């Protein structure tokens, strides 16, 4: 199946700094990418949807100035957590779909464990 | 609104026991349905899927049938293994391009030998 690579897998940062997480589709063109956040023992919460070349659409309650999403190409989307605080510590997962299989499969990255100290 | 409801866990079974994880959905139109599995510290892997009513998805001994009349997509496996211990998510996607998967809350399965 198609591969989505997410990097880094783990990151520890100091409070007040910014962290960038990359999500790449390695063997297909991802027309749409999704960013999720997962709290311990909970389901995935959709944060935002991004289409290549356009601004991301954020879900209600997600601060777009804090969670900056860029989808500059058909194979790369980035999530930047700006001025991170301990409450931003979480597991972040990206997902990508292609134009041809958008309703039959979404491919997920390995996830990024962010710890803000 | 559109949603997925799955049984709460944890589900604790002995090796070789029969597994059922219930999943029901509410959606407009005819969604595609999925089961994803998440092993500790990892992302999600597609386990199986069904894109229309009466379709049966199957993989690695797991099965689920898309039941439109009961709006259900229950996951079953006849004989679980310790290696099946993971969190299982039922999900749907609406038939609208560019929409995200809608997930259930996940069910933790723990299998002991």
Nearest C-alpha in A relative to B39: A110
The β-bridge partners of B54 are none
Question: How far does the CA of residue B76 sit from the closest CA of chain A (Å)?
Answer: 20
Report how far residue A106's alpha carbon sits from residue A32's, in angstroms, rounded to the nearest whole number.
10
Over residues B18-44, the pLDDT tens digits come to 999 999 999 988 899 999 999 987 888
Residues of A in contact with B51 (CB under 8 A): 103-104
The β-bridge partners of B64 are B57, B75
- pLDDT band at residue A98 using 50, 70 and 90 as cut-offs: confident
- Measured at the CA of B42, the angle between CA B41 and CA B44, to 5 degrees, comes to 140
CA atoms within a 13 Å half-sphere pointing along the CA-CB vector of B41:
2
Say whether A34 and B51 touch across the interface (CB within 8 A): no
Over residues A32-80, the pLDDT tens digits come to 899 999 987 778 899 999 988 888 999 999 999 999 999 888 899 999 9
Burial label, A107 (beta-carbon count in 10 A; 0-12, 13-18, 19+)? buried
């Amino acid at each position: 199946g198609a591969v989505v690579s997410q990097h880094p897998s783990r990151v520890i940062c100091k409070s007040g700094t910014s962290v960038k997480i990359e999500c790449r589709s390695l063997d297909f063109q991802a027309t749409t990418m999704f960013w999720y956040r997962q709290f311990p023992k909970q389901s995935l919460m959709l944060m935002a949807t991004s289409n290549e070349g356009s601004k991301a659409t954020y879900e209600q309650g997600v601060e777009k100035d804090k969670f900056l999403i860029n989808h500059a190409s058909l194979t790369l989307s980035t999530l930047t957590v700006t001025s991170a605080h301990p409450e931003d510590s979480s597991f972040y997962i990206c997902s990508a779909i292609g134009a041809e299989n958008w309703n039959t499969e979404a491919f997920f990255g390995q996830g990024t464990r962010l710890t803000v100290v | 609104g559109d949603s997925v409801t799955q049984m709460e866990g944890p589900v604790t079974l002995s090796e070789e026991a029969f597994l059922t994880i219930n999943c029901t959905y509410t959606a407009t139109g005819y969604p595609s349905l999925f089961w994803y599995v998440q092993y500790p510290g990892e992302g999600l892997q597609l386990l199986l899927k069904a894109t229309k009513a009466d379709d049966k998805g199957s993989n690695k001994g797991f099965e689920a049938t898309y039941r439109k009349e009961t709006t259900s997509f229950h996951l079953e496996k006849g004989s679980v293994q310790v290696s099946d211990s993971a969190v299982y998510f039922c999900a749907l996607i609406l038939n609208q391009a560019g929409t995200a998967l809608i997930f259930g809350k996940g069910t933790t399965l723990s299998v002991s030998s």
